[in-house]
Amino acid sequence: MRPFRRAPAVLTTLLLASSPSHGQKPNYDESRVPDYKLPEPLALGGTFTRSKDTWEKKMRPATLAILEREMYGSPPAPAQPLSFSFNLEKEVRDAGDGTVVRRSYLITFSHPGSPQLRLLLYLPRGARKVPAFLGLNFRGNHTLEKDPRIPLETGYVLGARRTGDNTTLAAKNRGIAAGRWPVTTITDRGYALATLCCGNIDPDFDDGFRNGVHAMFPTAGKGGWGTIATWAWGLGRILDVLDQVREVDAGRVAVIGHSRLGKTALWAGAIDQRFAMVISNNSGCGGAALSKRAFGETVGLINRACPHWFNARFKQYNDNEAALGFDQHQLIALIAPRPVYVASASEDLWADPRGEFLSLLHAEQAYLLYHDRPLGVAGHPEPGKSVGTLMGYHLRKGKHDITAQDWAHYLDFADRWLGKK
């Protein structure tokens, strides 16, 4: 265990992010960050290793098991043998600026009563085994473009009623997320883009784990498998589908997510090593940020506001981060040796930008087994500057969002590591 002293107050000039009140007030003062100890990513049972073989065969599985047991949970046994099929619903060849191929696939599971997943896939015209970005969206596929040919998402989406027809809200939201998903920019760079609404997999509210894909898993209601883990499981199923799409190289898929879906992308990359790259945008507590700093959103705040995101055991650390025997730098370490990118926003103190960077920095220990200078910096970089090699990071000026500036860094990072055949 390595002790860490409070960090200097380097973020005092940044604006405080607004946050909901759930009893405990968030701390935005660096001088009030407690002293804390972080476990060594390459240590197990008091033994430290610099062996890739020991890390991969013993320490990585042990670390993954701790995070599964204490925080995220893992899928229980399904009610019956599980399989799925997918069918092409529609293809248009003039999406985006008119040069992009857009397909809609319907994914159906074998289990009666299970939800259907509607996958939207964008391809460069003439694509042949191209790399891809895969990420979930919050409010439906129709929010990526104003094109009325994209069906409205009428199920649960972020901000919608929990039950009933949400068509009116969906119609108002058509195209509102276009800035977060720069389709043409991505396809012009030679990448496919795949997305579906996270609510298709598991609606984002607490109902005792009875909705979404939980219907296929009869013991899910015991709280052993949180929504973040469920969404991550769904990303793995989408990767299964992409593996059967001839224009996509499923061996070069980057999983990406913003905010709670950034938490999801990190966990998906940790549990499924088929993802070739992992990108976390403003993921904060439960994602890239160190929990032990208790800065901005904390374990107690996140569990009270969203009790369904993590498993039941994680609640024992509410207002008790010092008792954590693990932290989020170990989550990032699980992604090694694959490329990982973490990004923060200067005004997003709720997500603890400094804690996100420190988590990446302390995960470098695992990456050093594979690369001489995977991150290459020790200090929090100035806003606007992208740093790192195998591990990337930038601090964008502004608020909690994913923007064209963020995507420019992600595309450059992907060019470096996913390459173009």
Cα–Cα nearest to 145, from 174, 108, 111, 104: 174
Cα-Cα-Cα-Cα dihedral sign, residues 378, 375, 254, 53? negative
**Cβ proximity of 302 and 228 under 8 Å:** no
Residue 142 annotated in active site:
no
For residues 413 and 254, the answer to whether their CB atoms sit within 8 Å is no
* Residue 400 among the catalytic residues: yes
Q: Which one is catalytic: 214, 308, 400, 409?
A: 400
Catalytic option among 104, 259, 280, 346? 259
Task: Please give the Cα distance from 332 to 392 (Å, whole number).
Answer: 12
Helix-strand-coil split of the chain, %, nearest 5: 30, 20, 45
Nearest CA among 260, 208, 191 for reference residue 232: 260
Beta-carbon contacts of 40 under 8 Å, excluding residues fewer than 6 positions away, are: 1, 2, 48, 365
363-366, Cβ contacts within 8 angstroms, sequence gap of 24 or more: 363/41, 363/329, 363/330, 363/331, 363/332, 363/333, 363/336, 363/391, 364/391, 365/40, 365/41, 365/42, 365/333, 366/41, 366/42, 366/55, 366/333, 366/334, 366/336
CA distance 151 to 154: 9
Element (H, E) at 281: strand 277-281
Q: Is 280 exposed, middle or buried (0-12, 13-18, 19+ CB in 10 A)?
A: buried
Catalytic residue set? 259, 400
